[in-house]
Amino acid sequence: MYPFREGSFAVRNGWYVAGFVNELGRKLLARTILGQPVVMYRKEDGTAVAVGGRCPHRHFPLGESCLKGDAIQCGYHGITFGPDGQCVKIPSQAHAPRSYRIPTYPLVEHGIWAWIWMGDPDKADPDKADPALLPDLEEIGAAGQDLVLRPFYVEHVKGRYQLLNDNLLDLTHLGYLHAGSIGTEDNASAPEELTKEHRVLRSRRYIRDAVPPPVVAQFNGDDIERVDRVIGMDFYLPGFHAGISDMQIAESNPVRQGEVLNRGRVYHAVTPETPTTCHYFFALSARTEEEVDRAFPYLQPVIAEDKFATEEIEKMLAIIGENPDELLIRSDRNAVEGRRMLQAMMDAEAEAPQGSPGR
């Protein structure tokens, strides 16, 4: 499916963000991920688990059911499943056959995120869901730095996940879609440096002695005329983007040159829900609690603009069909590379024998 080859939906053998860790508790949290209903919760000892979200009896949503100790009791006829997926009770009969079960999915708490592995859930091969494939927290600036990190928004987007990935892989949109807040035209004209690594794609733009984006005047007054900026985004395939947004007063200001206006990170996690919808988890770090507080309401409309663009394009695809020609321009290099890498991972999974790691 667009923009991938027909029949390709999404990479399955990879870690996706299923939620923020502070969303997980003793209340069942239901989310559809890669077309599969999933329910997450914490066991009584605090361990977070993810299991299939559909009762195999009559398909009642287990997210609408209730926890009995560490087990889920289906809200329809009371069949109960343990956190290992095993059916432990059928109220209408004495014996629960061992073959009655629901799927389980590896779920890892790493930083402020809970990461799920949806690949081949019923095949016993625990090495596949290797936590070593998770982004390194220090490398993405989410640990070991003196920054305050906070989960911001959990958005449901009525558009396919790759439209959001495309958005994050091409920041030339900042000066247009976000012209009123964080972007300037320099976001598009500054040269982009790209680096490709195994399952990581990095983009950097160094913008020197430039007009500040509108956010600077809003938070710092009108007297800052020129700034230096670093804009970066690292795509950790298949669905996590760690961004850098550093800004300081440019050298051309004789009095305040080098004064830091912004130092922090933004984190965008994009997780496929169905072929034409996705989940979008946004988090931010900054130097102080006050800066994080200030950013929360400020960035809400910015994220809404990205969501708007994504949903409008999805509507357009519904009108024009799945294989539209695209105008390719130079700044598409990063997005095209990201699509290629994802397609290669999907192709490898399609070729791999059932139950093998596919990577």
Q: Judged by CB under 6 A, does residue 256 bind ligand FES?
A: no
Give the residue with the Cβ less far from ligand FES, 83 or 272: 83
Give the residue with the Cβ less far from ligand FES, 68 or 77: 77
Distances (CA, A) of 104 to 37, 52, 89, 243: 11, 6, 17, 32
Give the residue with the Cβ less far from ligand FES, 76 or 308: 76
Rounded CA-CA distance 219/290 in Å is 12
SS3 for 279? strand
> Applying CB under 5 A, what is the total number of residues that bind Fe ion?
1
Give the residue with the Cβ less far from ligand FES, 58 or 68: 58
Choose among ligand FES, Fe ion, none what residue 234 binds, the Cβ cut-off being 5 to 8 Å by kind: none
Please check whether residue 208 is in contact with residue 250, taking contact to mean a CB–CB distance below 8 angstroms: yes
Choose among Fe ion, ligand FES, none what residue 88 binds, the Cβ cut-off being 5 to 8 Å by kind: none
Please check whether residue 176 is in contact with residue 296, taking contact to mean a CB–CB distance below 8 angstroms: no
Closest C-alpha among 272, 212, 211 to residue 240: 272
Site string for ligand FES, 10-49 (x = CB under 6 A): ----------------------------------------
**155, β-bridge pairs:** 280
**244, β-bridge pairs:** 232, 265
Q: How far apart are the first and last CA of the chain?
A: 21
Burial tier of 45 (Cβ tally within 10 Å: 0-12, 13-18, 19+): exposed
Q: Judged by CB under 5 A, does residue 170 bind Fe ion?
A: no
Q: Judged by CB under 5 A, does residue 120 bind Fe ion?
A: no
- Find out whether the peptide bond into 301 is cis, omega within 30 degrees of 0: no
Among 166, 170, 228, 306, binds Fe ion (CB under 5 A): 306
Closest C-alpha among 157, 156, 238, 163 to residue 2: 163
> Applying CB under 6 A, what is the total number of residues that bind ligand FES?
9
Give the residue with the Cβ less far from ligand FES, 37 or 239: 37
Span of 89-97, 149-157, 290-298, 306-314 interacting with Fe ion by CB under 5 A: 306-314
Rounded CA-CA distance 11/23 in Å is 25
Give the residue with the Cβ less far from Fe ion, 20 or 282: 282
SS3 for 238? coil
Write out the binding residues for ligand FES, residues 51-90 only, by CB under 6 A.
55, 57-58, 60, 74, 76-79
Choose among Fe ion, ligand FES, none what residue 306 binds, the Cβ cut-off being 5 to 8 Å by kind: Fe ion
Residues making contact with ligand FES (CB under 6 A) = 55, 57-58, 60, 74, 76-79
Residues making contact with Fe ion (CB under 5 A) = 306
